[in-house]
């Protein structure tokens, strides 16, 4: 069994609400798109912690009697992405342990690029590891610190971490939220009545009718305890490097992250695409739902009618039977079906957010063409993905990224499109309103914000 070292995640925490576990359940529900593999909640009644985590969707894991066992008015929760293989409840979060200062639980969104090194050092010191999560090293750093207070220990530990993290620590009496100095992953702070809430995205606040206050700042620790909210900087300010891919694909369009609503950015991506690509066509359609908002922007910009030409099934099961040989493009078919008569004879633009290996795009183009499209033009609302992400987005190795080794025209040929248009890196930055700063666009440029001599290429580890 092999676990990927980095993965998608969502975190949620609430301090000082009588229904802490219930609201965490709802918050995780609103963050479910950030991870569908496993979910967990740890709560505190200010005396001790209560925990439950399991594989599966939030709504399948928790029910009312179970939530009732998660006592107290403080809770944190976590959802984790389903990667192929390597899934194991051992790697579900929050990660909770006893140590010299009491109990602590940790929920982490992001990826620590120096986790293997830290783990090696910690093992040499005598630490034992029960999971293959990079997150486990953080708890060990805190436990092995010589500093007297927990806040100081966390600050010290964070100082040793390299990579991306939006993290929540839960102790018997407090929640501590921390975000890496580059601010790679989002995390916001909100209120619901007198309670404080921390969440990966504002959709979680919306669902529980909480009020958005501000983002947790890069390099900031927010301490929530009986004294209220306290802000502590643990790192000197550096230029931010927000993950630009959150805007392109990962975050929900109704979320407000990095100071903007995702929906608006995606529309702008479409507008930029319209400016860059003068395709002649009869209709614009999207690969739902991730490509839809950019498609609307593109259609608007190009004044071509937008249609829902691909219908998405809401019932894609987690496992299914693949019939032998008889059916082509099967995986895509189970999820999407073209609107045949409407497409028939038309010149069609299909807008998608990105091309990874190219296999899915190829199936899609063939499917749309089989539905009668006279021409199939593919427009991608991001630049060619040429480098893997080491900061928490699940991408394959560089070798598997088709654009890393093929020209745009080669990709076009592979996916059998009549034309293929990517967004330029400049267009991308215009759409997000930055001039190349403030965002990590390493997956498109190889411009990694954390120096490679600071950390080795991430390695994989295995653990029974």
Q: What secondary structure letter does DSSP report for 90?
A: G
Q: How far apart are CA 345 and CA 337, in angstroms?
A: 17
In what side-by-side order are the strands of the sheet with 375-380? 283-286, 347-352, 375-380, 419-422
Pair 377, 421: CB distance under 8 Å: yes
Query: Any residues with CB less than 8 A from the CB of 144 and at least 6 apart, and which?
Result: 122, 125, 127
Query: Which range in 290-298, 351-359, 383-391, 394-402 contacts a copy of itself by CB under 8 A?
Result: 290-298
By beta-carbon proximity to a copy of itself, the closer residue of 201 and 272 is 201
Query: Which range in 7-15, 292-300, 415-423, 425-433 contacts a copy of itself by CB under 8 A?
Result: 292-300
Phi-psi region of 155 (alpha: psi -120 to 50; beta: other; left: phi over 0): alpha
308 contributes a contact to a copy of itself by CB under 8 A: yes
Query: Any residues with CB less than 8 A from the CB of 395 and at least 6 apart, and which?
Result: 356, 385, 388, 389, 401, 443
Q: How far apart are CA 450 and CA 376, in angstroms?
A: 39
By beta-carbon proximity to a copy of itself, the closer residue of 130 and 230 is 130
26 contributes a contact to a copy of itself by CB under 8 A: yes
Give which of 387, 382, 419 is closest to 405, Cα–Cα: 387
Rule CB under 8 A: which of 412-441 touch a copy of itself?
Answer: none
Residue of the chain from 211, 316, 452, 456 that contacts a copy of itself (CB under 8 A): 316
Phi, psi of 182 (to 5 degrees): -85, -15
30 contributes a contact to a copy of itself by CB under 8 A: yes
Rule CB under 8 A: which of 249-278 touch a copy of itself?
Answer: 252-254, 256, 261, 263-264, 267
Query: Any residues with CB less than 8 A from the CB of 158 and at least 6 apart, and which?
Result: 165, 178, 180, 221, 234, 235
Query: Which range in 123-131, 223-231, 239-247, 383-391 contacts a copy of itself by CB under 8 A?
Result: 123-131
Residues facing 350 on adjacent strands: 285, 378
For the chain, the first-to-last Cα distance in angstroms comes to 7
Rounded to a whole number of angstroms, the minimum distance from the CB of residue 463 to a copy of itself is 5
Catalytic residue among 9, 387, 389, 443: 9
Residue of the chain from 4, 6, 8, 33 that contacts a copy of itself (CB under 8 A): 33
Query: Any residues with CB less than 8 A from the CB of 124 and at least 6 apart, and which?
Result: none
Pair 364, 350: CB distance under 8 Å: yes
125 contributes a contact to a copy of itself by CB under 8 A: yes
Task: Give alpha helix (H) positions in 371-407.
Answer: 402-405
- 456: three-class secondary structure by DSSP: coil
Q: How many CA atoms lie within 13 A of 429 on its CB side?
A: 15
Query: Which range in 181-189, 221-229, 302-310, 415-423 contacts a copy of itself by CB under 8 A?
Result: 302-310
Rule CB under 8 A: which of 160-179 touch a copy of itself?
Answer: none
By beta-carbon proximity to a copy of itself, the closer residue of 239 and 305 is 305
Rule CB under 8 A: which of 40-79 touch a copy of itself?
Answer: 42, 48-51, 57-60, 62-64, 67
By beta-carbon proximity to a copy of itself, the closer residue of 169 and 448 is 169
Rounded to a whole number of angstroms, the minimum distance from the CB of residue 330 to a copy of itself is 9
Residue of the chain from 46, 73, 82, 97 that contacts a copy of itself (CB under 8 A): 97
Rounded to a whole number of angstroms, the minimum distance from the CB of residue 295 to a copy of itself is 10
**Token pair in block for residue 258:** 């990095």
Phi-psi region of 210 (alpha: psi -120 to 50; beta: other; left: phi over 0): beta
Residue of the chain from 203, 354, 381, 385 that contacts a copy of itself (CB under 8 A): 203
By beta-carbon proximity to a copy of itself, the closer residue of 292 and 361 is 292
Maximum alpha-carbon separation in the chain = 73
324 contributes a contact to a copy of itself by CB under 8 A: yes
Residue of the chain from 227, 303, 314, 451 that contacts a copy of itself (CB under 8 A): 314
Whether 443 is catalytic is: no
Residue of the chain from 159, 237, 239, 305 that contacts a copy of itself (CB under 8 A): 305
318 contributes a contact to a copy of itself by CB under 8 A: yes
Residues 332-371, mask of contacts with a copy of itself (x by CB under 8 A): -xx--xxxxxx-----------------------------
Query: Which range in 109-117, 182-190, 228-236, 456-464 contacts a copy of itself by CB under 8 A?
Result: 456-464
Count the neighbouring beta carbons within 10 Å of the beta carbon of residue 127: 17
Report, as residue numbers or ranges, the catalytic residues. 9
């Amino acid at each position: 069994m092999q676990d990927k070292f980095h993965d998608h995640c969502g975190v949620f925490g609430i301090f000082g609400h009588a229904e802490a576990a219930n609201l965490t359940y709802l918050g995780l529900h609103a963050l479910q798109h950030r991870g569908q593999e496993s979910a967990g909640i740890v709560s505190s009644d200010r005396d001790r912690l209560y925990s439950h985590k399991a594989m599966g969707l939030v709504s399948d894991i928790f029910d009312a009697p179970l939530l009732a066992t998660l006592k107290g008015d403080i809770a944190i929760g976590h959802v984790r992405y389903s990667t192929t293989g390597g899934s194991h409840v051992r790697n579900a979060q929050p990660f909770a342990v006893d140590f010299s200062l009491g109990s602590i639980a940790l929920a982490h969104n992001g990826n620590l690029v120096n986790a293997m090194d830290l783990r090696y050092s910690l093992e040499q010191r005598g630490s034992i590891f029960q999971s293959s999560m990079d997150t486990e090293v953080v708890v060990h750093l805190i436990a092995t610190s010589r500093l007297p207070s927990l806040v100081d220990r966390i600050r010290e530990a964070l100082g040793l971490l390299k990579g991306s993290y939006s993290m929540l620590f839960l102790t018997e009496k407090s929640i501590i939220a921390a975000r890496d100095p580059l601010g790679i992953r989002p995390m916001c702070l909100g209120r619901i009545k007198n309670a404080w809430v921390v969440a990966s995205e504002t959709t979680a606040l919306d669902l529980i009718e909480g009020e958005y206050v501000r983002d947790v700042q890069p390099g900031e620790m927010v301490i929530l305890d009986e004294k209220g909210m306290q802000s502590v900087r643990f790192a000197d300010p550096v230029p931010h490097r927000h993950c630009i891919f959150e805007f392109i694909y990962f975050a929900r369009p109704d979320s407000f992250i990095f100071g903007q609503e995702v929906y608006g950015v995606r529309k702008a991506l479409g507008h930029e695409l319209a400016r860059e690509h003068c395709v002649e066509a009869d209709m614009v359609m999207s690969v739902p739902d991730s490509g839809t908002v950019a498609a609307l922007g593109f259609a608007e910009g190009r004044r071509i009618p937008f249609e829902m030409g691909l219908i998405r099934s809401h019932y894609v099961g987690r496992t299914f039977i693949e019939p032998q040989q008889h059916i082509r493009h099967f995986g895509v078919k189970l999820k999407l079906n073209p609107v045949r008569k409407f497409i028939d004879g038309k010149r069609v633009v299909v807008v998608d957010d990105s091309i990874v290996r190219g296999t899915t795009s190829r199936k899609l183009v063939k499917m749309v063409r089989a539905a009668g499209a006279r021409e199939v033009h593919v427009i991608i609302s991001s630049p060619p993905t040429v480098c893997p992400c080491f900061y928490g987005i699940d991408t394959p190795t560089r070798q598997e990224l088709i654009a890393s080794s093929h020209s745009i025209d080669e990709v076009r040929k592979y996916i059998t499109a009549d034309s293929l248009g990517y967004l330029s890196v400049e267009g991308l930055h215009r759409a997000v309103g930055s001039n190349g700063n403030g965002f990590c666009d390493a997956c498109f440029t190889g411009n990694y914000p954390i120096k490679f001599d600071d950390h080795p290429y991430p390695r994989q580890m295995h653990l029974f």
